Structure 1
Amino acid sequence: MNISSVVVRCKPEDLEEVLRSLEESGMCDVYFHDETGKIVVVIEAEDVKEEVFKMKAIQSLPKVLSAELIFSYSDEWAMAKEYLDRNKERVPEILNDENVKAEDIKYQGRVPKWV
């Protein structure tokens, strides 16, 4: 699950139309707006691909000047960490040794064969 906040900008005179478009799109929830044409929305998506799709769709709505990602949370990182934790015994010791400097590690193969 990905949750992102996006600031959408439009001209002040287009604010009501853009708010209506955002609410009707079903792609986001509108949380805040001001009279200058700044709108804060939250996007929920299953993954990064869906998140990017929704953001691009918002950017292409009529009268939207810009839509910029401000914050993003993804539990995909948590899943990756879980995977690495489950497979930590397959990672060469040198990669977990805090006393070894990265520049002293000589790469001589493919990491995927270990993980």
Structure 2
Amino acid sequence: MNISSVVIMTKPEHIQEVLESLEESGLCDIHFHDEKGRIIVTIEGEDVYEETFKLKAIQEIPHVMSAEMSFSYSEEELQKAINEFERVQKEQEVPEILENENIRAEEIVYKGHIKAYID
């Protein structure tokens, strides 16, 4: 599931018409609008292709001057990041110096990187 926020711009005199069109379209959820013609909505899709389809449809609504994604959340991206983190965790063992309970912290001299103790 992907969720993105979209900033839509229209002329102030067309804001009600654009809001009604957005509401009727079922493409998005409206969260904010102001008297200057700015509208903030969110769109959801199973993937980026569905979101892109919805964004293009919003851009085609009469009197929409611009509609651009602002922020995006993607479960797929999150899962990739989690998988990469878990892979790195498995590959990197904790250095012996950090596991040795007989070494006092005061005795460790930091040299800019823990790898200096491993190599």
TM-score, with structure 1 as normaliser: 0.71
* 1:71-110 correspondence runs (5 A): 71-81=71-81, 84=84, 88=87
Who is 2:70 aligned against? 70
Counterpart CA distance in 2 for 1:78 and 1:9 is: 30
Larger radius of gyration: 2
Aligned length: 93
Residues 50-109 of structure 1 show CA distances to partners (whole Å, capped at 9, x for unaligned) of 0111001100111100001110010111233455568x49xxx9xxxxx7xxxxxxxxxx
CA distance in 2, matches of 1:64, 1:17: 10
The alignment-based identity, stated in percent, is 57
Tell me which residue corresponds to 2:59: 59
2:10 is matched with: 10
What TM-score do the two structures reach when normalised by structure 2?
0.68
Pairing 1:45–2:51 present: no
Q: Which amino acid aligns with 1:10?
A: T
Give ranges in structure 2 of 5+ residues lacking alignment.
Answer: 93-114
Structure 1 runs of 4+ with >3 Å offset: 81-86
Cα distance between partner residues in 2 of 1:46 and 1:83: 20
Aligned-residue CA RMSD (Å): 2.3
Q: State the one-letter code of the partner of 1:17.
A: E
Counterpart code for 1:11: K
The one-letter code of the counterpart of 1:32 is F
